[in-house]
C-alpha cells in the first residue's frame, strides 16, 4: 500500500488578514448606530420645537381673539358719556373693567387691584378680575381680557375763554391673555392695544 503525504502550506497573506473583516464590520456598524441615534435625537428635538411653535401660535391667536372681543365690546357699549360712567364706575364695578382716571367729575377711579400681576395666571383666572371670551372654544383655557380707561387722549386745547368743547377722544388700554392647548397649557401670550373713542 502506498501512502501519499500532502503538506499544506499556509499563505502568509491569508494569515495576516484573518479577522480583519470582522473588525471592519463592527466599526461600520458602530458608526451607523451612532449616526442613527444622532438622527433620532435631532428628529425628536425638531418635533418638540414644532410642537412648541404650534402651542405659541395657538396662544397668540387666542389672545388676538380676546383683544378683538374687547375692542368690539368697547365700540358697541361705550357710545356716550353716560355709558362710559356706567361701565367704568367705582360704585358698581363691571368685572374686567377698570378706570385709572375718573370717567366723570365727582366719580372715583377704579384702578387694577394693587396685587394684580398681568403676568400671573392665577390673577387672570380669579373670579371677577377679567372677562372670559366664550366664543373661542378650540382651547381648554379660554382667553381673557381686561380694559382700563386711561382718560382723555392728546394735549388739551388752547381755550383761554373756556367756551370751546373738549374734542379729545377717550382712551382705553386693552390687555388680553391667551393660552395654548391642553388641560394645563405651558404656552401663553399677552397682548395689549390702545383704543380711542370719540364721544
- Quick one: how many helices (H) and strands (E) in the chain? 4, 5
Phi, psi dihedrals of residue 177, rounded to the nearest 5°: -125, 130
Tell me the pLDDT of the chain averaged across its residues.
85
| Predicted pLDDT of residue 6 | 60
Mean pLDDT of 103-112: 82
| Predicted pLDDT of residue 89 | 84
| Predicted pLDDT of residue 68 | 95
Q: Which residues contact 127 (CB under 8 A, 6 or more apart)?
A: none
CA distance 172 to 147: 7
Q: Where residue 130 falls among pLDDT bands split at 50, 70, 90?
A: very high
61, pLDDT greater than 90:
yes
Better pLDDT: 56 or 163: 56
Mean pLDDT of 39-68: 87
- In this structure, how many other beta carbons lie within 10 angstroms of the beta carbon of residue 185? 18
Q: Where residue 10 falls among pLDDT bands split at 50, 70, 90?
A: low
| Predicted pLDDT of residue 59 | 92
Better pLDDT: 5 or 35: 35
Are 129 and 96 in contact by the 8 Å Cβ rule? The answer is yes
Q: Where residue 148 falls among pLDDT bands split at 50, 70, 90?
A: very high
For residue 187, give the nearest of 195, 178, 174, 198 by alpha carbon.
178
Better pLDDT: 2 or 66: 66
User: pLDDT > 70: what percent of the chain?
Assistant: 89
CA distance 61 to 65: 6
Q: Where residue 102 falls among pLDDT bands split at 50, 70, 90?
A: confident
Q: Whole-prediction pTM value? A: 0.75
Torsion region of 68: left, alpha or beta (phi above 0 gives left; psi -120 to 50 gives alpha):
alpha
| Predicted pLDDT of residue 98 | 93
User: What ranges do the domains of the chain cover?
Assistant: 15-197
Amino acid at each position: 500500500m502506498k501512502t501519499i503525504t500532502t503538506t499544506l502550506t499556509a499563505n502568509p497573506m491569508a494569515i495576516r488578514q484573518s479577522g480583519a473583516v470582522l473588525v471592519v464590520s463592527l466599526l461600520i456598524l458602530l458608526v451607523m448606530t451612532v449616526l442613527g441615534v444622532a438622527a433620532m435625537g435631532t428628529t425628536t428635538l425638531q418635533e418638540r420645537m414644532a410642537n412648541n411653535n404650534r402651542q405659541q401660535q395657538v396662544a397668540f391667536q387666542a389672545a388676538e381673539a380676546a383683544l378683538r372681543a374687547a375692542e368690539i365690546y368697547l365700540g358697541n357699549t361705550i357710545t356716550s358719556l353716560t355709558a362710559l360712567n356706567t361701565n367704568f364706575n367705582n360704585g358698581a364695578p363691571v368685572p374686567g373693567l377698570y378706570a385709572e382716571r375718573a370717567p366723570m367729575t365727582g366719580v372715583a377711579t377704579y384702578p387694577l387691584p394693587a396685587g394684580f400681576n398681568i403676568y400671573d395666571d392665577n390673577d387672570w383666572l380669579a373670579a371677577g378680575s377679567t372677562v372670559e371670551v366664550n366664543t373661542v372654544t378650540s382651547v381648554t383655557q379660554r382667553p381673557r381680557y381686561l380694559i382700563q380707561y386711561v382718560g382723555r387722549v392728546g394735549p388739551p386745547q388752547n381755550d383761554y375763554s373756556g367756551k370751546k368743547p373738549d374734542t379729545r377722544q377717550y382712551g382705553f388700554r386693552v390687555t388680553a391673555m391667551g393660552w395654548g392647548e391642553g388641560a394645563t397649557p405651558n404656552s401663553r401670550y399677552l397682548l395689549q392695544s390702545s383704543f380711542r373713542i370719540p364721544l
